[in-house]
Structure 1
Amino acid sequence: MKVRAQRSALAMAVVLASATEIPAVHAQDSDALMLEEVVVTARRRSENLQDVPLAVTAFSGDALDMRGISDISELAQAVPSVTLEPSRATSTTLTAFIRGVGQQDPLAGFEQGVALYLDDVYIARPQAALLDVYDVERIEVLRGPQGTLYGRNAVGGAIKYVTRRLGDEPELRLKASYGSYNQVDLVGTGSMPLGDTVKVGATVASLTRDGFGENRTTGDEHYDKDLFAYRLSAEWAPADSLLVRLAYDKSEDKTNPVAGHRPYPGAASGAPVLDDIYDTRSGASELPSTAGIDGNNEIEAEGFMVSVDWDLSPAATLRSITAWREDYTESVIDFDSLAEMDMDAPVIYDNEQFSQEFQLLYSSERWNAVAGFYYLDATASNDFDVVLGQLNVIPGFPGITAYTGGEVDTEAWSVFADVTYNLTDRLALSVGGRYTEDERTADVFRGQYAGFGSPFFGNDGALFLAATSDYEADKTYTDFSPRVNLSYAVSDDVTLYGGYSQGWKAGSFDPRGANFVTPEVEKGFDPETLDSYEIGVKSSWLGGRAVTNVAVFYSDYQDMQIPGSIGFDTDGDGVNDDFVGTVTNAGQAEISGIELEGSVLFSEHFSAQVALSFLDASIEEWIFNGVDVSDQREVQNTPEEMAYLGLTYTNGLLGGDVTVNANWSYKGDITQFEVPSPVLDQEAYDVINASLVWISGDQHWLLGLYGKNLADEEIKTAGYCFGFQDCPSSLGLEDNTTVFYAPPRTVTATVEYRF
């Protein structure tokens, strides 16, 4: 779809850049209305979204501002087959699923099934990965395996978070927001050229909010937010053929600990169920169980990136991306969510990674190709106590503590290539492949102590009872993953495509596994593989006033890596006094579905956006103790149905443009974990949002009013199941099942000045 960039008098000021988003309006010389062309880099080159034979959804930064999107989890409301949520007991750890593929557990040793990229840098760990949205150029969501075009192989898909490039003229953006629960967000972004070859920029963000609820034990806010972040960047272009980009970012999150809602009374304490699902009686942050981290709940994350683009010729570009990232977390997890010290955990995550990627990109009239080399050196470690404070096995030493310390190192390299050849002006063939060598090294110790905490967390008086794991192991995994895709432009407005791609994720080691009980733990768990077949059609119609993208896929998912943990009884007294990690390579799952995205421009003032997905996800084989229990297992975090409808009206007002958007999203029933649990699982639900945005005619001012979850739906996002009912096993004495919830209804007002 060829569109001039000439703006009509009544055109919308900004665009949500995808088939499901608020479209910008453009008028050609003939005054014919058309949707704006959407440009993405899903295949490592700039292309019209409608020409990309992949299932891709893209959002521009200005579009995200129009909707008032605060973090990337909200994108899942408008993208088919996608679930994005904060992990349980956290505010900034990401749980991501695409087409039934993802990872629930943020422990060391587990990589995510959905790859997250920040400016082409793969983020290896989920901590601090629930990225807030500011200073964004665009976000792209790619569904299906990705590996022949990107640095790291991804089984389920990829999310590309691309920050805003620096302009040729001085720029300044100042944004202030105030909303429900005393939300105060301040974001400042500026950039300026220093001479003809150098540009510098910076962004500072302070994002704060009182809690949706109250901690009735400590008096603190509960489900609050306290984040400070900044980003520094520079660009140097000493010649037309050379561009060097540097960026450094850092964030500090001091949000209070998050504890789940208890659906059942305390079995030992008798504490009743609270009326407000956002309130808690959690007291772990002030109890001896978390004294080793002073009850802290804090995350620091930072990273540095240098990218170099060197145009070897008009057709060839050599690119280098060098990056280092680190994050450190001290977290309080109160499994019982009570003032009692029944089941508490101080947790430390410490992650560091270095990556180097080289790409050679080639483009000509017939050929488009990318070839690359990727190297990753990453260390992920976690240390945590599980303090069962109401158990007592040694006189004079109240409480039992299970300490786990595990470090998993990853050293991986890969070579990949993807070549597209235009067989004719309308027919194109893409062939790609990736070879990966992934070495995992683990150092794991698990011990049981009498007392409120282990020596690692400062309790030198703890009495050592027994070690349940103590081993070092390493293993190297190799794989070749292919991709083939054929696309045919039936006309200038319709493209058909079909293809096959394979995703692969290396095996690893579970730091919670008890190798003294189960020696197989030292052998680690196996890789998982997904074979995906997809056909689709991308079409533009009504003279460029509408687009419709449809994808149909089938995935054969082998050896799914399913982590979990269960309590067990070490002394045979009938009470579980320890726990052990479990990782299952489930035999096979089959996931198929149909996805639709579309936009239609009814007039220069009124438009609609739609997204749908229908999935059939089932476990076909799951062997447990020699028995196939697949009929008792479900694919996690994958609703069978999803729908999204947005209506947008734009018109001139007070010398500018006002845009009104109302949107409705629907998700079908969600099973949180592989074993259904009615108290944790979320039934089908709707979310209604609305926004009112005015932009001045000179584009300097933006005034916005945003309402989210206007029907005030109570939406479960995660939970812990260590209680006495509908749980795989119990731990603690208080019937410890807890549930976490998405935000309630909120309203936010924003004013932004752009210069």
Structure 2
Amino acid sequence: MHIHDHRRPTPSGSICSAALVLLGLALSSPATTAQADLPPENGSIVPQEITVTAERTTTALRRTPISVVVIESRELERKGVTALNELVGAVAGVSVPNGFSNMPQAVGIRGVGVSLPAMSQAVGIYVDDVPLIRGYATALWDLPDIQRIEVLRGPQGSLYGQNSSAGAVKYVSLDPSRDAAAWLAIGAGNHGLREARGYVNRNVGQGPLSASLAFSRRRSDGYGYNSTLDKNVNAIDATQFRAKLRWSGGAAQDAVLAVDGLRDRSDTNTINFPLNHPRTRPRVTYTGNPEAGTFERDAGGISFRFDLRLSEGLKLRAITGYRAYRDFPMVADFGGQEALQYQINQDIQQKALSQELQLQGQNASNTWTAGLMFVADNFDFLRYVDFAPPAGAPVGHTEAQTQQQTRDVGLYGQLRHAFANGIGLTGGMRVYQTEQQASNAFRRTNAQRQHTQTIYVADDLSTSKTGALLRLGIDRQLGQDVFFYASMAQGAKFGGFNRAAESMTSARTATDPERVTTWEAGSKTRMFGGRLDASVALFYNDYRDYLANVPNMVINGVLVTDATLVNAGKAKTYGIDVDLNARVSDRVDATLTLELLRSKFDEFANPTGSPDNDYVGNQLPNAPHVSAGTTISYRHPFLSGASASAYLTLQHTSSQYGDIGNSSATSIPPQTYVHLGASFTDARQRWTLSARVRNLFDKSYVLLHNRIPALDIHAGYYNPPRTTIFTARYDF
């Protein structure tokens, strides 16, 4: 084992001490905390009860036996959370290294799941229980009808299936109702930021039909600058909508039809800010090709959910979803230098169909869910690459083509039995089969995309994997305010075939699923007369068949020099999550989210035997030792009925590595951000004026490195600079 302690980031003593204090507070008995000298200002309060659907049925958050963080619509609106990467800091333990909306997203939770963003994911992304497959077209959800976001930490294999081995992120949108509502908001800020957002909900006639429409339009001039072409880059240009129609047959029947769409024309100048240019500056590129950055994405989906009550305590649910997107054209420069180094031109398409049938039952002692889910994913990928080797060698041109048809069937069930003494036992299992048919091809071309040499064509690829994922748990309710749980949960991420493989051997290599088994124990406690909710979770992840791209592998006796997707190793991550929500006074609220994490590779493939490729003992990439966020908010009511509010958010992430080799050249520095905002609502509750500032001190950090040493490429992706926006909203 090789552990290089001088390279390992170490959490500060103050944060560790704070975590221990919070842990002791959360685990203390209600009898002790009730006697604390913190009486409510105006007597006892009625705490808000937050409900979630993390276990596919509606439960109270503080009695749900998994680690869940909820960001409700009020917080989403107030803080301007519009993209997947903005969950980083808002939920401790969440990592999204590819931050810009048109980049493929790889979400990690507790150090698991950030490798290979274009392949199957370890964190399932769901919109109203419809899964989004792969990492494309999942980043931007800037729609005002989002009711809440639920972030589920840890494997969710029994209820959510494969590709949720690290957890899940669930977007839950408002269903239409008979309560009429409508509002419109317009905003403007620095960097040319403009936005318009709106929502309307109303009855359709006098019958059981109601409908809603949400839309969003956002544009900016860009956070970056092209010094060679003298223009702003890294711009945002996205339009979204979602329309819903609901038929409500009372308590027995309910049906919702939803259609959403996205038109994204943001440019791809995201990771081409060179770090090895003589005039390197944050968010400055020198790319000389005016076509670099061209991007068009059209995406959307349709879903139908039907609920039927069969009898008292028994319900049938059917969820059908179809989603598709196309990225074309997509032109991206990787070097950021004046002359061409490496440029890609891609055409990516996906069509995905999902169908789920679910039966839910509940009585005095048992709550159970059983279901069958089918997912069909068709993925077509075509990439042209133009690259210029150093020392004046001629420009090379290649074409890589991949087609994959993946079918996944899962049969699952989970039962919780409640005993009279407050103890509950949970057991769950999913049995799955995943099949993938694929074709791969790699060719050399000329500058006009005409084929000059076929390296290989593999059009008969097939693989099939079966397995079972378990969940076992025990929980105990003590009184009304203390809840303990412990569990073992399993998850798997499908591997399949390489995408855009450069050799026949790597194209024909199929991988096994990446697997995680998690042991977790936690508590959820309400204290001080309802003024504090505290959640603490201790976890240990046993991570096997880790999927990674490894060069120079010997496969069936053949040396494969190009990077090949293989099950490379074993690892573990372990730590503690702490989440606090406090009503400090009648006007002041405070929240804290904190994770302390450790990770290590226990085994890793080293085909050459070189000490430089011995990754045993290394930390997992994108697994910071400390991630934390805290928000303090203040509200002030006026006698007239008007109100004002303000908030201050502090987010911190310790240093982390960007690759499995723990290279200092690609490490990610510690990050600290301060965000703040304020709003005013008039006495008639019609007008709301607000202002937000993100990254108040204008910090610049390289969050993602792009290195190709053979082509002398070292570029990076930066966090957004300081952004301000002023918004006016009118409720009709």
Q: What is the CA–CA distance in structure 1 between the aligned matches of 2:419 and 2:210, rounded to whole Å? A: 42
Q: What is the CA–CA distance in structure 2 between the aligned matches of 1:393 and 1:54, rounded to whole Å? A: 58
Provide, for residues 328-371 of structure 1, a one-character-per-residue CA deviation record: whole Å limited to 9, x for no partner: 01211211112322211101111111110000011111111100
* TM-score, normalised with respect to structure 2: 0.89
Structure 2 alignment gaps of length 5 or more: 1-25, 27-38, 554-559
Structure 1 alignment gaps of length 5 or more: 1-18, 20-26, 266-271, 456-461, 568-577, 724-729
Q: Is the 8 A contact 1:612 1:641 kept in 2?
A: yes
SS at match of 2:107: strand
SS at match of 2:508: helix
Please tell me the residue identity of whatever aligns with 2:401.
G
SS at match of 1:631: coil
Q: What is the CA–CA distance in structure 2 between the aligned matches of 1:301 and 1:508, rounded to whole Å? A: 25
In structure 2, the partner of 1:46 is 58
SS at match of 2:273: coil
Please tell me the residue identity of whatever aligns with 1:68.
G
Residue among 217, 227, 235 paired with 2:228: 217
Please tell me the residue identity of whatever aligns with 2:309.
D
Provide, for residues 476-530 of structure 1, a one-character-per-residue CA deviation record: whole Å limited to 9, x for no partner: 00010110110001221111100100001223000233444xx364131221111
Q: What is the CA–CA distance in structure 2 between the aligned matches of 1:350 and 1:175, rounded to whole Å? A: 33
Q: 1:541–1:39: structure 2 CA closer, same or farther, 3 Å change rule? A: same
Q: 1:229–1:579: structure 2 CA closer, same or farther, 3 Å change rule? A: farther
Q: What is the CA–CA distance in structure 2 between the aligned matches of 1:697 and 1:104, rounded to whole Å? A: 50
Q: What is the CA–CA distance in structure 2 between the aligned matches of 1:283 and 1:566, rounded to whole Å? A: 34
In structure 2, the partner of 1:720 is 706
In structure 1, the partner of 2:165 is 155
Question: Is 1:689 matched up with 2:698?
Answer: no
Provide, for residues 54-80 of structure 1, a one-character-per-residue CA deviation record: whole Å limited to 9, x for no partner: 100001112211222222321221212
Q: What is the CA–CA distance in structure 1 between the aligned matches of 2:594 and 2:280, rounded to whole Å? A: 37
Aligned residues: 681
Kindly report which structure 2 residues correspond to 1:241-260, keeping only aligned pairs within 5 A, or say none.
241-258=252-269, 259-260=271-272
SS at match of 1:33: coil
Residue among 587, 592, 603 paired with 1:621: 603
Q: 1:548–1:469: structure 2 CA closer, same or farther, 3 Å change rule? A: same
In structure 2, the partner of 1:677 is 663
Kindly report which structure 2 residues correspond to 1:297-308, keeping only aligned pairs within 5 A, or say none.
297-308=295-306
Q: 1:481–1:579: structure 2 CA closer, same or farther, 3 Å change rule? A: same
Q: 1:132–1:218: structure 2 CA closer, same or farther, 3 Å change rule? A: farther
Provide, for residues 660-712 of structure 1, a one-character-per-residue CA deviation record: whole Å limited to 9, x for no partner: 11111110112122122333321112111111122334433322111111121
Q: Offset of 1:215 from its aligned partner? A: 2.0
Q: What is the CA–CA distance in structure 2 between the aligned matches of 1:87 and 1:439, rounded to whole Å? A: 31
Q: Is the 8 A contact 1:103 1:111 kept in 2?
A: no
Provide, for residues 596-636 of structure 1, a one-character-per-residue CA deviation record: whole Å limited to 9, x for no partner: 00022221012221111111111110021164823374311
Q: Is the 8 A contact 1:283 1:334 kept in 2?
A: no
In structure 1, the partner of 2:334 is 335
In structure 2, the partner of 1:227 is 238
Question: Is 1:452 matched up with 2:437?
Answer: no
Provide, for residues 74-116 of structure 1, a one-character-per-residue CA deviation record: whole Å limited to 9, x for no partner: 122121211124357x635322111111144343xx2011000
In structure 2, the partner of 1:112 is 121
In structure 2, the partner of 1:78 is 90
Residue among 589, 594, 614 paired with 1:612: 594
Kindly report which structure 2 residues correspond to 1:293-692, keeping only aligned pairs within 5 A, or say none.
296-330=294-328, 331-389=330-388, 398-449=394-445, 451-452=446-447, 454-455=449-450, 464-468=452-456, 470-516=458-504, 519=505, 521-563=507-549, 580-625=562-607, 627=609, 629-631=614-616, 633-653=618-638, 655-692=641-678
In structure 2, the partner of 1:140 is 150
Please tell me the residue identity of whatever aligns with 1:647.
I
Q: What is the CA–CA distance in structure 2 between the aligned matches of 1:379 and 1:284, rounded to whole Å? A: 33
Please tell me the residue identity of whatever aligns with 1:499.
S
Please tell me the residue identity of whatever aligns with 1:192.
R
Q: What is the CA–CA distance in structure 1 between the aligned matches of 2:506 and 2:647, rounded to whole Å? A: 55
SS at match of 1:94: coil
Residue among 184, 192, 199 paired with 2:202: 192
Please tell me the residue identity of whatever aligns with 2:273.
H
Q: CA RMSD in A?
A: 2.4
Q: What is the CA–CA distance in structure 2 between the aligned matches of 1:437 and 1:67, rounded to whole Å? A: 41
Question: Is 1:125 matched up with 2:113?
Answer: no
Q: Offset of 1:640 from its aligned partner? A: 0.8
In structure 1, the partner of 2:23 is none
Q: Is the 8 A contact 1:469 1:513 kept in 2?
A: no
Q: 1:399–1:246: structure 2 CA closer, same or farther, 3 Å change rule? A: same
Please tell me the residue identity of whatever aligns with 1:416.
Y
Q: Is the 8 A contact 1:174 1:187 kept in 2?
A: yes
Please tell me the residue identity of whatever aligns with 2:540.
Y
Please tell me the residue identity of whatever aligns with 1:679.
A
Q: Is the 8 A contact 1:711 1:745 kept in 2?
A: yes
Please tell me the residue identity of whatever aligns with 1:501.
A
Question: Is 1:752 matched up with 2:718?
Answer: no
* TM-score, normalised with respect to structure 1: 0.86
Q: Is the 8 A contact 2:552 2:608 kept in 1?
A: no
More displaced stretch, 651-660 vs 684-693: 651-660
Q: What is the CA–CA distance in structure 1 between the aligned matches of 2:184 and 2:682, rounded to whole Å? A: 15
Q: Percent identity among equivalent residues?
A: 23
Question: Is 1:742 matched up with 2:730?
Answer: no
Q: 1:73–1:655: structure 2 CA closer, same or farther, 3 Å change rule? A: same
In structure 2, the partner of 1:12 is none
Q: Offset of 1:650 from its aligned partner? A: 1.5
Q: What is the CA–CA distance in structure 1 between the aligned matches of 2:506 and 2:444, rounded to whole Å? A: 20
Question: Is 1:170 matched up with 2:170?
Answer: no
Q: Offset of 1:657 from its aligned partner? A: 2.0
More displaced stretch, 134-143 vs 277-286: 277-286
Q: What is the CA–CA distance in structure 2 between the aligned matches of 1:86 and 1:702, rounded to whole Å? A: 33
Q: What is the CA–CA distance in structure 2 between the aligned matches of 1:465 and 1:151, rounded to whole Å? A: 42
Q: Is the 8 A contact 1:260 1:719 kept in 2?
A: no
In structure 2, the partner of 1:283 is 288
Q: Is the 8 A contact 1:643 1:666 kept in 2?
A: yes
Q: Is the 8 A contact 2:442 2:503 kept in 1?
A: no
Please tell me the residue identity of whatever aligns with 1:356.
Q
Please tell me the residue identity of whatever aligns with 1:630.
Y
Q: What is the CA–CA distance in structure 1 between the aligned matches of 2:246 and 2:541, rounded to whole Å? A: 42
Q: What is the CA–CA distance in structure 2 between the aligned matches of 1:679 and 1:605, rounded to whole Å? A: 47
